[in-house]
Amino acid sequence: MDDTTYRVYPYRWAVLGAFMFVNLMMQALWIDYSPIMRDSAAYYGVSEMSIGSLAMLFMIIFVPLSVPAAWAIDRFGFRKSVGFGAILMASFAVLRAAAGPNYALALAGTAGIAIAQPFLLNSWTKVAAHWFAVSERATAVGLVTLSNLLGIAVGMVASPALAAGLSIGAAQFVYAGAAALSALIFIVLARENPPTPSGPAGSGEKALMLDGLKHALSVPSFRLFLCVAFVGSGLFNGLTTWIDQIVAPRGYGPVQAGNLGALLLVGGVCGAVAIPALSDRLGRRKPWILVGLIGSLPGLAGLAFAREFWLLGASAFAFGFFLMSVLPVGMQFSTDVTRPTPEGTSNGLVQLCGQVSVVLVYLMQSIKGLFGGFTVSLVVSGLLVVAAACLVPFMVETGRAAGPTLPPMEAVVEPE
């Protein structure tokens, strides 16, 4: 039995806050063109699909870089890896701003920002594992999810406001300045480890990268959650990417599209805080993943069919509240069931699967081209959510959420 006394430090909140800020800015830089898609297309002299490609590029680039970034996080630690990503993000954000109306340079700047993204997204559970007690880790990951949602909300609300008084290029300088500030704060405040461990060494760097990948993918419950992450991330990314075009046929402009996106994200913020906290308190993951998936369906139906703005807003809030709680709870579930795979590796595989969902984002636009609107795409997305929910009962929890009683490096073997 492990008699080690563990301690958490107040400074963990400073580390988490700095980490949340760089994640917030990454998401703002990802989504900032989406609510002003029509205006951005006119500014750069390209099609709306080309502007949508700026957002999809983040997901495309993530796919080949996810595993190398996860290796770097496990090998060098999150402080160096995230610091590198934050500097890269800020540098290329300045390049994108300096591009002016040159779409090719803006695309190159976007690609550079996208290269930085895996170093941030794949570190979520690593930060939680190093600084937070086992009973706080889903909450910590939920707060990072919150920062991502706030970043998207910033992009959704700030872009229309900035575009009203500035050129698209000038607005990008505002985002670049904020990104540089976030990178500086992280570099100054972040520390790799507290003075003493916060809890049992759940996985860490002791497992080889290849062994960690093989072990994680051998766990049936983890493979099932990867399917859930694919569907949930694809639907969320699709809605945020195409929100301007989704509501345009109902008579709403960029400001209303941005406000709807913000309501979706405010709901997501609330859900990403409340439901992971309940998961930590009750020591369960699986039931809350199922609640998140099923609870998102009424909101999705409202976004597909409602015409009144108040009903669209309520639907967006409800959809965000439930769907965006699935990722933080599921990521901690993945960490629990895949030990001794390093947190950076399991986290990276979940994020990779979520980014591969760019296929769904593209299909939403393709189906829209066939039927003249996004309603059919949203109905098909709802059916995929139902299918994902049907997978959850087959997942097996380890009991680690309530506080591990197993030796830190003991792997959980599930029946096939």
pLDDT at 325: 84
Please give the pLDDT value at position 407: 37
- Residue 13, judged by CB atoms within 10 A of its CB (0-12, 13-18, 19+), counts as middle
pLDDT at residue 182 greater than cutoff 70 = yes
pTM over 0.75: no
- Per-residue confidence at 405, pLDDT binned at 50, 70, 90? very low
Q: Among the ranges 119-133, 221-235, 241-255, 401-415, which has the highest mean pLDDT value? A: 221-235
Q: What is the pLDDT of residues 14-37, one digit of tens each?
A: 999 999 999 999 999 988 888 888
pLDDT (average), residues 62-81: 86
Write down the pLDDT at residue 314.
93
Name the CATH superfamily, with its identifier, for domain 12-197+204-402. Answer: MFS general substrate transporter like domains (1.20.1250.20)
Q: Given this model, what pLDDT does residue 209 score? A: 54
Domain boundaries, given as residue ranges, for the chain: 12-197+204-402
pLDDT tens for residues 216-264?
Answer: 888 899 999 999 998 988 888 888 778 777 888 888 877 787 788 888 8
Give pLDDT tens digits for 325-345: 888 888 888 888 887 777 667
